[in-house]
Structure 1
């Protein structure tokens, strides 16, 4: 009987049944244990991915900030254009310095004469030529004979380094405007402008040696005589009408004033587009990195034929 049983198990039908049972058992085991696996490229927080998470936020904030700056610059340009379109005004005898920011970039007319001492602010560069800006007290003629004339500071414009050194050393006096003699009463057109303050790396002014690196209006007014000489802390930029050749004026030692227009550089739209584009690109790269690290279905070779 045992011989017959062993012989029956060796028949083709028995062998086929045994192989089928073994195959189904393997499939069930694989299905229950290895149906899903985690990809070897799981998302992990590394220094690189940490930076990639931070960059979209930073660039997005910078882009929004540049959009705010763009709005501010457009409003400023509109204010400047409006102020420049108005006719020149005559400043009152006593100027309210607290109201000056409301009249910035307004053209004004001054009548009077230049006084000493000259104040030199530099270094400055005009069309590749090094030099300095010449500032002089300007005593205004009063329309009211009972009031004392007041004095403001006029930024006459650019002079060369040679002329500035000669004035600083006392070898030369500032030249009057073209067509006038020293001490003449004249009428000049200027522009009210709030000077920029001291920069981070700007040296301190040296009033005793007439070396000024930034426009400290209060200190310059004191240098010109202060309240004792009725000097107000107001700076007016003299306007250059462009009728003369700047090189000819510099050769004669006559300052070259500022142009009658105000050009404000506006690149905020370009900066905003750049930062926002970087934010979108890095956000896309971060999303791809996260998607690649998600769990995926295993590809079991034993299941391919099913």
Structure 2
């Protein structure tokens, strides 16, 4: 104590300066900084401030897109809700029409009336033109390849030509001469009565195949306007209802003579498709028309089943049921779900952009202030 008391203030300052020079020369730290990290500063800026200033349009675009997705998806969900209500009412109307008794097809029936008559059962009487049959397919039924058979039909009361979808036939029974039960598979005469369902005429979709071979009788998809133009019939879509009963329609002498003359003719009367070289039929041979005589032993009380019709080549008609698809419920739930989740994501995105990010400039300033406090 006596020795320190005898040191003058000038000597103390000199000793302190030498001590500081010694520490600076050998870089010895005399102050310990805290090892505890400082808390981040909450600000509206982010570490990507510089990039945002260079690309402001990208942020605006994505923000606008995130705001538009909930609104647009909610609108589409409401639209599907209205479509669901409309389709449900339409199916109910069609099912109600199926309960009506069959009525004769009006004489002045136009394609514009099909929508109001859809799934209504009608009766037409006249004659089939089997030599003008056309097909749509292939279609598979019970694991068997076949085609939908469309046959022109001449009405007895008005003489109009209609196009009737008679039903499905197997591939090996497309030729009328190869079919059994000729009185049912190839009925003759102008007294044939057919019960049909009125359907709205189908047209080919935008992404469906076009018919490339004009001489072919096969269509890949149902295109009623084009098929009606090719057969000279009205553009109506009539589906024959499945009927497994045995029918005997009266056949006149003129019809028998026409059938015999067609079977004894020299040229081919019918072609499934035409190949190069003039060959006709699936096997490339001409097929004469067989007689349409009906065995007298058969009775009108006989009833067949679907497999017998398929084996004999009798067209299997349409089951009288409404087959309109109604998938608007799934679409509605999809759009509403997208609207909900996009709204949640937008909420968290807006909430996170307000004060949750750390600015680099503020972070550097905070570090310098913290270092000065501990020096």
TM-score past 0.5 threshold: yes
Residues 1:232 and 2:234 are matched in the alignment: yes
Show structure 1 runs of 4+ deviating over 6 A: 41-44, 296-302
Q: Is the 8 A contact 2:150 2:163 kept in 1?
A: yes
1:47-196 superposed matches below 5 A? 52-116=66-130, 117-142=132-157, 149-164=159-174, 166=175, 172=178, 176=182, 178=184, 181-183=187-189, 185-196=191-202
CA root-mean-square deviation:
3.6
Question: Which ranges of structure 1 fall in alignment gaps of 5 or more residues?
Answer: 1-5, 7-34, 143-147
Distance 2:138 2:215 in 1: 17
Distance 2:181 2:229 in 1: 23
Distance 1:140 1:126 in 2: 30
One of 328, 331, 335 as aligned partner of 1:268? 328
Q: Is the 8 A contact 2:185 2:314 kept in 1?
A: no
1:64-119 CA-to-partner distances (Å, cap 9, x unmatched) read 22112212211211221232122211013343333232212211012223123111
One of 343, 348, 365 as aligned partner of 1:288? 348
Distance 1:130 1:110 in 2: 29
In 2 relative to 1, CA 199–251 (structure 1 residues): closer, same or farther, beyond 3 Å? same
Question: How many angstroms does 1:162 deviate by?
Answer: 2.4
* Larger gyration radius, structure 1 or structure 2: 2
Please state which structure has a larger fraction of its residues in strand: 1
Q: Which residue number corresponds to residue 21 of structure 1?
A: none
Distance 1:90 1:267 in 2: 34
Question: How many angstroms does 1:163 deviate by?
Answer: 2.3
Question: How many angstroms does 1:176 deviate by?
Answer: 4.8
How high is the TM-score relative to the length of structure 1?
0.70
1:243-258 superposed matches below 5 A? 244-258=304-318
Distance 2:106 2:60 in 1: 67
Question: Which ranges of structure 2 fall in alignment gaps of 5 or more residues?
Answer: 1-8, 10-40, 53-58, 245-302, 370-375
Question: How many angstroms does 1:149 deviate by?
Answer: 2.7
